[in-house]
Amino acid sequence: MAINFALFAELHWLLFVIPIALLIIFNKWLKLNYQYRFIKGFSIIIFFFLFGIKLVELNNEINYNDHFSKYKHDYYLLKIEEPPKNKKNTLKIIGEIIATKSSKSWNNTTGKILVYIAKDAKAAALKYGDIILCNGNIKTTPAPKNPFEFDYKRYLGFHQIYHQTYLYSNNWKQTHQKKTNAILALSNQLRNYLLSLISQYNIKGDEYAIGSALILGYEDDLSNEVIGSFAATGALHVLSVSGLHVGIVFLVLNYILQFLGESKPARVFRFIVSISGLWLYALITGLSPSVWRAAAMFSLITAGKFYKKDISTFNIIGCSAFILLCINPYMITEVGFQLSYLAVFGIVTFYQKFYDLLIFKNKILDNIWSISCVSVAAQLVTFPLGLFYFHQFPNYFLFSNLVVIPLSTIILYAGILLLVVAKITFAGALVAKVLHSLLWILKYTVSIFENLPYALIEGIAISTFETFLIYGILLSLFAFGVQKKLLYINIALVQCLIVCSLQIGEKLNQVQQEKMVIYAINKHFAVDFIRGQNNMLLADSLLVKDKDKMKFHLKPHWLALGLSNVKTKINAKTSDILSINGHYVFFKTKIILNTNSDSIKIKNLNYKPEIVLLSKVNLHKFKDIFELFPSAKFICDGTISPNLYEHLKTKNKGMNIRSVMNEGAIIIEV
């Protein structure tokens, strides 16, 4: 609540005064009155609620007095916080500005920043911990410009990044100083060394990318195609080192150490080795948040077993979440955090209930049934979030996991074995060959499931409120299963009715919608003409071919509008949505002049348009167009930069000119 709403941020005294006052009232004035015992618990709840609010405020770095945004500067020192990531033409770096220099002096500062550095030999040499001197222009992270586009600004804000910059080669230089966290530096060195061991045995391509992700948590080399394949089959979790992988390591360690027995020295030794093994694995996999969560949880389980306490798994889940959120309360915003804790909660709650439904004496059938129960239990409590975030549901998740989970477990064993014997050439080559074959089988198996008919339900769009309602339905059904009261069935039915009503209302609006949308995509032209659940997209060929940009900028809006028949090419002069005549587009009652095409001949402009779409390709004709249609509404598309737009406005005062790159996508209802 504190992350999403401004709650008592400045009222620090509330944190102590209210709970203490309530405790005093309970302990002194109402001590003997049993009916008021709830006040004590209520005061503790209020304390933790206010503590959470304060914790968020303390972790919001933009409010710090020494944040770099509070200072004017000419130069700044940037420390590279994470290993740089390779992009097509740039290096992507998460950095911290540790000092700024104005005309007077240097100031020590804090604050993270997103940096893109133009690729060259000098940039390629940058490493984690390097400190560079920069003078690039720093800008506030821009908000999304298109409807329903992923809010990258908000996402970065949750990671305490509010600014970004682009550095050319002449905007920065090495200081040859270094400042690293010893643990993170060791983690990066270990992982890079182990990655080199895998690559030296000729494991490359998608097999190398999948193996690196599965064994060591290195995901930078995964292609969008591979990620899409695993996501479509419900097997994406195996590509992110998380509870599954840490759990395997935990089970292996416990199995190996069983021979020690249950004496006190044996338990002490097993405890130390188990904890050390878990965190060593976390260290070599980059100490990602998912590994932190799993390692913390299994560490608490190990500690509980060591002290021979009765272990409440729910308490362990809650305790590990509480510890992690005290370290960083913004971790709760991460999709991985939400999904992993829900999955563990679902497995702990439902696995045994499902498993007890059928009993198999055959060991193989029993293992198949056990994996199926785990998959269903996890999917049951995570699918609403999957629908909300990813707008899809993998229909064959149960069958794919029957193959993927055992296979990924064997791959993890083989990968660890390769890392152990890599220096022994013969043994390393043999294990590497087996590992490469297993990785190919995993990739091929996932591809088979992905290409089966009806493998994936796509285009599902639900709101935050509808997501909560679906969870309310699940909780009501669970409560009915436990207490057998008809009231919970009635509550579930009411919530079902609300969800159905909202979906029906949304569909009715979608059937009646008629609008045109000029999208804001830098250096591209894209205009959507929408009628009902069909649309026609006019866009430049480079954008249409760029699947990543289409998916990022356009697809979320199409999903929200329920568009089921998306067209991106026009093969004829007319369609059921619009008609085209030369440079003119006729959409319902509107006449639109499109300048994003071959050079326009002014003498051929026979119709008086209501809207003129301005594209840079015909910049030299703008003067004539302005004079010919002075009363038209002019809209600059993504090919016209904000600076050029300002120049056009200044030079053509009195004209109605708007720009998508300045104000975001422009929607015109018809």
301-324: pLDDT as tens digits: 778 767 766 677 788 888 888 988
Distances (CA, A) of 381 to 143, 295, 375, 386, 669: 32, 22, 11, 10, 39
pTM (two decimals): 0.85
pLDDT in tens, 620-642: 889 999 999 999 999 999 999 99
* Rounded distance between C-alpha atoms, residue 252 and residue 504, angstroms: 51
pLDDT in tens, 468-505: 999 999 999 999 988 889 999 999 999 999 999 999 99
pLDDT in tens, 412-450: 888 888 888 888 888 888 988 999 999 999 999 999 998
* Rounded distance between C-alpha atoms, residue 376 and residue 365, angstroms: 16
Closest Cα partner for 77 from 199, 146, 174? 174
Selected residue with higher pLDDT from 409 and 244: 409
* Rounded distance between C-alpha atoms, residue 109 and residue 100, angstroms: 7
**Whether residue 160 has pLDDT greater than 90:** yes
pLDDT above 70 as % of the chain:
94
Residue 571: what pLDDT?
A: 44
Residue 570: what pLDDT?
A: 47
> Could you tell me the pLDDT band of residue 579, with boundaries at 50, 70 and 90?
confident
Pick the CATH number of 68-180 from 2.40.50, 2.60.40, 2.30.42, 3.30.460: 2.40.50
Residue 280: what pLDDT?
A: 84
370-388 mean pLDDT: 89
Let me know the angle formed at the C-alpha of 85 by 79 and 91, rounded to the nearest 5 degrees: 75
Residue 9: what pLDDT?
A: 58
Measured over the CA atoms of residue 214, residue 216, residue 217 and residue 221, the dihedral's sign is negative
Q: Are 137 and 183 in contact (CB under 8 A)?
A: no
Query: φ, ψ for residue 500 (rounded to 5)?
Result: -65, -40
Helix H or strand E encompassing 313: helix 313-327
pLDDT in tens, 104-158: 789 999 999 999 999 888 888 899 999 999 998 899 999 999 999 999 999 999 9
* Rounded distance between C-alpha atoms, residue 101 and residue 108, angstroms: 9
3-state secondary structure 161-200: EEEEEEECHHHEEEEEEECCCHHHHHHHHHHHHHHHHHHC
**Residue 126: other Cβ atoms inside 10 A:** 17
What the block records as the tokens of 119 is 């690729």
Distances (CA, A) of 308 to 262, 271, 302, 317: 11, 12, 10, 18
Say what the alpha-carbon torsion angle 529, 534, 540, 545 is, to the nearest 10 degrees.
Answer: 160
pLDDT in tens, 65-76: 999 999 888 899
**Whether residue 375 has pLDDT greater than 90:** no
Least confident of 360-364, 550-554, 569-573, 590-594: 569-573
* Rounded distance between C-alpha atoms, residue 668 and residue 645, angstroms: 20
Closest Cα partner for 293 from 242, 345, 232? 242
9-21 mean pLDDT: 67
Measured over the CA atoms of residue 265, residue 275, residue 346 and residue 472, the dihedral's sign is positive
* Rounded distance between C-alpha atoms, residue 297 and residue 642, angstroms: 50
* Rounded distance between C-alpha atoms, residue 528 and residue 289, angstroms: 39
> Could you tell me the pLDDT band of residue 569, with boundaries at 50, 70 and 90?
low
**Whether residue 340 has pLDDT greater than 70:** yes
Closest Cα partner for 221 from 87, 344, 41? 87
Helix H or strand E encompassing 98: strand 90-101
**Whether residue 24 has pLDDT greater than 80:** no
Measured over the CA atoms of residue 82, residue 83, residue 85 and residue 89, the dihedral's sign is positive
Rg (CA), the chain: 29
Structure letter (DSSP) for residue 146: S
pLDDT in tens, 497-539: 999 999 999 999 999 999 999 999 999 999 999 999 888 999 9
Q: How, if at all, do strands 584-587 and 611-614 pair?
A: unpaired
**Whether residue 258 has pLDDT greater than 50:** yes
pLDDT above 90 as % of the chain:
35
Residue 367: what pLDDT?
A: 86
Q: Are 376 and 398 in contact (CB under 8 A)?
A: yes
* Rounded distance between C-alpha atoms, residue 107 and residue 473, angstroms: 55
* Rounded distance between C-alpha atoms, residue 3 and residue 147, angstroms: 23
> Could you tell me the pLDDT band of residue 57, with boundaries at 50, 70 and 90?
confident
Q: Are 286 and 188 in contact (CB under 8 A)?
A: yes
**Whether residue 572 has pLDDT greater than 50:** no
Residue 647: what pLDDT?
A: 92
Architecture of domain 514-669: 4-Layer Sandwich (3.60)
Greatest distance between any 2 Cα atoms in the chain: 97
* Rounded distance between C-alpha atoms, residue 625 and residue 609, angstroms: 11
Q: Which of 276-290, 400-414, 568-582, 647-661 has the highest mean pLDDT?
A: 647-661
Residue tagged 């591979």 (tokens): 226
Closest Cα partner for 218 from 231, 208, 228? 208
- The residues near 406 (Cβ < 8 Å, ≥ 6 apart) are 371
> Could you tell me the pLDDT band of residue 241, with boundaries at 50, 70 and 90?
low
**Looking at the DSSP assignment, which residues form a beta bridge with residue 602?**
none
Q: What is the mean pLDDT of the chain?
A: 86
What the block records as the tokens of 81 is 């916080």
* Rounded distance between C-alpha atoms, residue 284 and residue 187, angstroms: 5
